Homo-oligomer: A and B are copies of this chain.
Amino acid sequence: MKIVLDGMGGDNAPQAVISGAVEALKEFKDIILYITGAEDKITEELSKYDYDKDRIKVINTTEVIGTNEHPVMALRRKKDSSLAVALNLVKNKECDAIISAGSTGAFLAGCTLIVGRIKGIDRPALGPIMPGKNGPFMVIDSGANVDCKPEYLVQFGKMGKVYCETILKQPNPKVGLINIGAEEEKGDELTKAAYKLLKESEPNFSGNVEPRDVTLGDVPVLVCDGFVGNTVLKMYEGVASTLFSVIGNEIKSTKRGLLGGLLLKPSFGNIKKKFNYKEYGGAPFLGVDGICVKAHGSSDAKAFKSAIRQTYIIKQNDTIEKIKKEIEEFQG
């Protein structure tokens, strides 16, 4: 299996990309990694490691797309960017998959413009898997598409379901609609219309899920507009960070607290591990006719390795083919 890594994407590129790549080679014996980017920098970084030189190929590119550039314009202008060159390797079937921690917008635009969409999918979507109280869950779309139409949400549900089945090994997962009320008639125009469509066309649809219940993880596939999904994910991150910080300050404020905190150090360690997104790797753009995995912009080596592991599992499970089949059957 051949995976191309955008060597210049993300806050810690290329160091973290390369360190994660070298680690992944040890775990997965049948992968070959391509890395696009400034050859001199990448080669210099690689020289720090001992690895099988036949399994990492560096492809020199001269341009980089920044996170603040207009996605489509940047892609069109920077043909020799690390991202565009990597995407073309997937398009031309030279590589089976791409991973990038760079600009989400440019990556998404490139997936659609260069690699192409699956027939029957209007908008590829991001569906990261998150840790929940009773189990993992995915929020799809979590930020790739705003101002969605109701039918997009049905497509998100179909793709999420297949992804959840193949990656989380949860047979027949429930599909829920994130909404600000439990009853069918609650919500805004989008969720009311999406509710009706999902009820008609998704056998696994289990109704509305209020944001209060999202993190329980009782409904593994949660569909919504990307603005809402992004809000859900970022609130999860923000509230957790605020609470841990408040707990930390409270603990430090008394001697009794300090002793209690010391005793609970392993417990907090377990919780932080359980709720660490880095363990879950990246999130694929589902709906693209290829394996395109978005890694978090702040990914470190461990996160890149996890993203490679996840990409590997997506490929091993024929996930994209299964999504295509599901969408084909849905469209009849």
Contact = CB atoms under 8 A, between A and B. Distances in A.
Given A211-B231, A228-B228, A264 B257 contact: yes
A126 to B, nearest CB: 12
B251 A259 contact: no
A76 interface: no
Contacts of A183: 68
Interface string A188-208: 110100000000000000000
Interface stretch (A42-50, A54-62, A212-220, A314-322): A212-220
A146 B179 CA distance: 11
Main secondary structure of the interface of A (DSSP, over half): helix
A73 interface: no
A247 interface: yes
Given A68-B183, A212-B237, A216-B242, A250 B231 contact: no
B187 A211 contact: no
Interface stretch (A32-40, A110-118, A266-274): A266-274
A161 B260 CA distance: 41
A267 B247 contact: yes
A236 B211 CA distance: 9
> How big is chain A's contact interface, by range?
35 or more
Contact of A235 (B187, B235, B246): B235
A227 interface: yes
A231 B234 contact: no
B271 A260 contact: no
Contacts of A94: none
Interface in A277-324: none
Contact of A212 (B133, B238, B253, B274): B238
A236 B234 contact: no
B246 A271 contact: yes
B215 A239 contact: yes
Contacts of A267: 247, 250-251, 253-254, 257, 260
Given A227-B228, A235-B231, A270 B250 contact: yes
Nearest to A235: B235
Contacts of A136: none
B238 A240 contact: no
Nearest to A215: B242
Nearest to A70: B185
Contacts of A187: 146, 227
A81 interface: no
Interface of A: 68, 132-133, 143, 146-147, 178, 180, 183, 187-189, 191, 210-216, 225-228, 230-232, 234-243, 245-247, 250-251, 253-254, 256-257, 259-264, 266-268, 270-271, 274-275
Give 8 nearest A-B pairs by CB, closest first.
A260-B263, A146-B188, A260-B264, A211-B234, A235-B235, A239-B239, A212-B238, A212-B234
23 contacts: A133-B242, A143-B180, A146-B189, A178-B231, A180-B226, A187-B227, A188-B225, A188-B227, A213-B238, A214-B235, A227-B228, A228-B231, A231-B232, A231-B235, A235-B239, A239-B239, A239-B243, A243-B243, A246-B275, A247-B267, A247-B268, A260-B260, A260-B261
